[in-house]
Amino acid sequence: MLGLEFRRIIILSVLLLLWVIVSLGCNNTSEVIIGPEIDSINTIINIEFFENLDNGLRNLELRCVTDSIFPCANFLIEYDLIITSNTLDLTFTRISDLTICLDPFGPATAIVSLDPLANISYDFPITVDRVTVPAQLILTDSTIEILNGDSTWTNIVRSILYRVPASII
């Protein structure tokens, strides 16, 4: 009989602990935020270029991560991207706070797909918190290069990316 009561106490304790973790770990109020306000960016965005070679296609992506840590690791960096014939205009608008917290504490992220793009030079203004950097993106068969992309609010992790030769894809 004592064993059954002990099990009941253990189960109730575990349930209580889970309830405390869920209710405190993923609180959706601005009081818990570590870093900038949610309605603005107010943090450096680290931008890294990747070429995704899934399905034999060359998909160019920007993987963006904030320097600041937020209460949930699945917060997103919202952005607007306007692509014209020779301009890619990227504006980061805000950090979105989600109602469901998958993992506690982490940077806000965004993956920006830039495909399809021709191998030419593009004007690439990047705007964060009303500060625009007049960067330039140069695509060739062998490289992806960004010039003048660093600023107060942006950090280009790698300014040149060597592409996998088309004959290998």
142 within domain boundaries? yes
The pLDDT value recorded for residue 167 is 80
Model confidence pLDDT, tens digit, residues 113-143? 987 889 999 999 999 988 999 999 999 999 9
Residue 168 placed within a domain: no
Report residue 56 as tokens. 């034999």
> Among residues 111, 118, 137, 115, which one has the least CA distance to residue 58?
115
Domain assignment of residue 40, yes or no: no
Q: Is 156 helix (H, G, I), strand (E, B) or coil?
A: strand
Digit-coded pLDDT (tens) for 37-80 = 456 788 999 999 998 887 777 888 999 999 999 888 888 999 99
CA 64 to chain centre: 4
- Are the CB atoms for 39 and 2 separated by under 8 Å? no
Greater pLDDT, 74 or 22: 74
Residue 167 falls inside a structural domain: no
Q: Do both 49 and 22 map to the same domain?
A: no
Residues 22 and 84 in one domain: no
pTM here?
Answer: 0.74
CA distance 144 to 100: 36
Length of the chain: 169
Total tally of structural domains belonging to the chain: 2
For residue 18, what are the domain limits? 2-28
